[in-house]
Structures are given as structure tokens and as C-alpha cells.
Structure 1
Amino acid sequence: MSETAKWYVIHTYSGYENKVANNIETAVENQNLRDLIEEVCVPTEKVLELRDDGKEREVERKIFPGYVLVKMILTDDSWYVIRNIRGVTGFVGPGSKPVPLSEKEVAALGVEKIHVEVNYKEGDSVRVVSGPLEGFSGVVDAVDIERNIVTITVSMFGRDNQVELALNQVAAV
């Protein structure tokens, strides 16, 4: 089947996402399958919600209600364990064949944090190495490792412009 762990999408009953994720984690621990099923994720986002009384509160919402993401090596055992968890209706894919997410889809979902080590800091000169501004040079204003973003000031058309780029899009000069 597959030798490296890939991300798969599991369809669940709506509202059962966290319960399914916890049950998968429990089954993995009980059956000693940590080498097959590495990670379980229910993608969420924090949203400011305006209540009727005019107050704002921060709420955590599921990005994909009814779905759970699992990073696993697909074998008959791992498929069987996941498929037989209460609340799981099946894997996303044609028929009963699970289809892994592509690397592009995983990056877009942000489920796998990519740690980029940077060799620059605020005030350093950098060069843009990829993207639409490739070839431009600028000065680092801020580095946000958690969000994977660097803010730089680039001089274009005789004006200084602040732009946000991914950490791996710039390199120290």
C-alpha cells in the first residue's frame, strides 16, 4: 500500500467531529497503532462573534463541519480501525477507496505546520527569492514565525511599500 504517512479526510456525522477524533486517538493508543496512525486533526478557526447584547466574544468554529483529518499510513488494519469508529461514515474518495490529500491541499488547509528557520531579523536587508516580487530587495520590518510571515519594505516605482510574504520567500542578502 503506502510507506509514508499521508493526510486523509474522514466523513463523520455532523457534530461528532471531536468525539470521533478522541475515539480514534483512544483506539490508536489501545491497539498500539501509533506507527500507522500518526495524527488526528479537526480543523478549527477562532472567530469574533457579535452577540445580541452588543458584546463580542471569541468562538472556535470548525472549518469543515462533518470532517476529520487523519495522517496515517494506509493499510488494511488502519483502514479497518478508522472505518469502525462510531460516528465515522467513511473516507472521502470514490467508493470505499480513500484518496490522500495532495501536498498543495495540505499546505492550503494549514494542518501541517511547516517550520522554517530564518537567518534574518528586523532591520536586515533581504532579497525576494520567489513569488511575484522575485528579484526585489527590501528591509525586514517584522518576522512572525507563528503565522509563517515576514513583513518587508520594498522600494517599487519610487515609493516604499510594505508587503507580507511567506518566510521561505525571502533570503538574507
Structure 2
Amino acid sequence: MMQNERPNWFIILAEPNREGRAAEGLRERGIDAYAPKVLKRMVRRGRKVEVERPLFPGYLFAKLVEGVDDFRIPKRVVGVRDYLRFEGIPCAIQEGAINAIRRREGIEMERAQRAISGVHNFAEGEPTRVAEGPFSGFAAEVYSLDPKGAITALVNLFGRKTKVVFDGAQLEKV
């Protein structure tokens, strides 16, 4: 690599639900690839499970050097459709944007881990604030803790306390 030629991150369009496979295929061909993920709680067969999902469905990032790397390689990888283009030119983004995405990914993973172990972070009668959902910003008081991860809290709605069930990530300590 020449001194003046620095690698850029390019946005790659991926086939639906194949972002991880596409990133893996790019890495196998020696290209630095990044497909940010988050843990999401989903209901499958009546049970809540944590599943890794893409932070940006349908997109991933590849680090390439213009004039040095073969820009045709990514298009030959399973799961890759094309580059995201603007007026026919592949879109490049700065390293700072990728670093910001990595920080966001870390925050989201931490939030998901809190949700998984959320019951252990609170005590009955503890004052909290609703961080996510339709009651965001409301003050609440922990009423009961369910061993499966649900937290029942008393939220002041229209002048009366109402029981509402939350998961650990939806509440934060005051």
C-alpha cells in the first residue's frame, strides 16, 4: 500500500438475512468487513429468547483501498448484492463513522445484557424511571420481580398508580 493511499470503508448492500455470511465471505478473501449486530429479545414458540440481529439490516461495511484493491471481489461473495452507490460511485464513509457505529453496537449489546439479567439489578420498592417504550420518561416504583426476567412496576398514570410489566432494559435507576 502506498503512503498516500489510505483505506476507506465502503457500504455494501447485502441480501436479506445474509449480512453475517457476506461479511464472513469477505474476510475469507482478505477484506476487512464489519457487520454490526445487536441482541434483540424475541418470542419464539412462546418463549422469550435473545437473538443476534443486524444493526443495519441489508448493509455491511468493507475496508478497501482505491486503486490497490480489486473492487470486483466483494460482488463475487455469497450474500453480497452490490455497493451502495451515489451517482454510480461506491459510497465511502470515514473511519470516525465506523468507530461511532462500533460504540453504538457496544451500547446496544450492554443494554441487551442488562435486559437479560435485569431482575438482579433492581429491588422491590426501588424508585426507577422508564427508559424505553410508551411510558418513556415516567417515574416508576418496582413492585415485584419475576424470576423469568419481567419486572412489575407501579407507574403514576392520570393521578393513580398502575401496574405495568417491563423487562430489565426498559427501566433505569434514578
TM-score, normalising length: structure 1: 0.49
Q: Which structure shows the bigger proportion of residues in helix conformation?
A: 2
TM-score, normalising length: structure 2: 0.49
